[in-house]
């Protein structure tokens, strides 16, 4: 297993090409599985279920992608985690994988004092912000030949106004929040440390019987 952290901003298209190439190599046994932490320049990505009406203002590049889900935003101050695992070795159960991924992000946020949760029928990672449910993280995955691609994003300290160009994940009735908005003075390195503390449990639970 390789854990990689990329400094600076990695262009989305470059990361996508590298991730897809790595997934092929993992599937053929020519490369190790990968947990890749990075940041992107501001970009909107459209999942396979994206609705045109959810794109309000294309103020940043809009890139179609093969992951599930609708529109989401990526940008500075947001931790992106790309997860390339071989489910042939870990159990060919996509639902189990997605649940394990959600649980990993929730556990990492818990290390920082944030009570986060998943909601049936509503994609993403949620928490309470001033008493109202708000989205702090997104989950978007693709599984190709039983190798996983894409992963999660968590709002550490992004410019939340950048979400205004889309209806995030097609849910107009809910807002977005971040660790900074919740009063948690964490940076990307702090959140990465929380992810590292909880990664072993994720890798154990993703191997469903």
User: Which residues are marked as active site?
Assistant: 169
R_g over Cα of the chain: 16
Strand (E) positions, 89-163?
117-119, 122-129, 132-144, 147-155
The answer to whether 8 and 39 are in contact (CB under 8 A) is yes
Q: Which residue has the tokens 């071989």?
A: 86
Q: What is the DSSP annotation of 148-164?
A: EEEEEEEESS--GGGGG
Backbone angles phi, psi at 160, to 5 degrees: -65, -20
The answer to whether 81 and 36 are in contact (CB under 8 A) is yes
CA-CA-CA-CA dihedral for 146, 188, 166, 11, to nearest 10:
-70
């Amino acid at each position: 297993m390789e854990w990689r952290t990329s400094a600076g901003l990695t262009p989305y298209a470059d990361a996508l090409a590298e991730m897809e190439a790595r997934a092929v190599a993992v599937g053929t046994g020519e490369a190790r599985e990968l947990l890749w932490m990075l940041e992107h320049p501001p970009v909107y990505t459209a999942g396979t279920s994206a609705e045109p009406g959810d794109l309000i203002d294309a103020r940043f590049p809009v890139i179609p992608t093969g992951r599930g889900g609708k529109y989401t935003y990526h940008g500075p101050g947001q931790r992106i985690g790309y997860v390339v695992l071989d489910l042939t070795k870990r159990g060919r159960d996509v639902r189990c994988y997605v649940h394990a991924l959600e649980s990993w992000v929730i556990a990492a946020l818990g290390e920082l004092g944030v009570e986060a949760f998943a909601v049936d029928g509503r994609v993403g990672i949620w928490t309470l912000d001033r008493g109202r449910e708000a989205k702090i993280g997104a989950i978007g995955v693709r599984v190709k030949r039983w190798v996983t691609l894409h992963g999660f994003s968590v709002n550490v300290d992004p410019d939340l106004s950048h979400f205004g160009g889309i209806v995030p994940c097609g849910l107009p009735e809910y807002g977005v929040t971040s660790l900074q908005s919740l009063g948690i003075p964490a940076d990307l390195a702090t959140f990465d440390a929380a992810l590292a503390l909880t990664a072993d449990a994720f890798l154990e639970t993703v191997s469903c019987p």
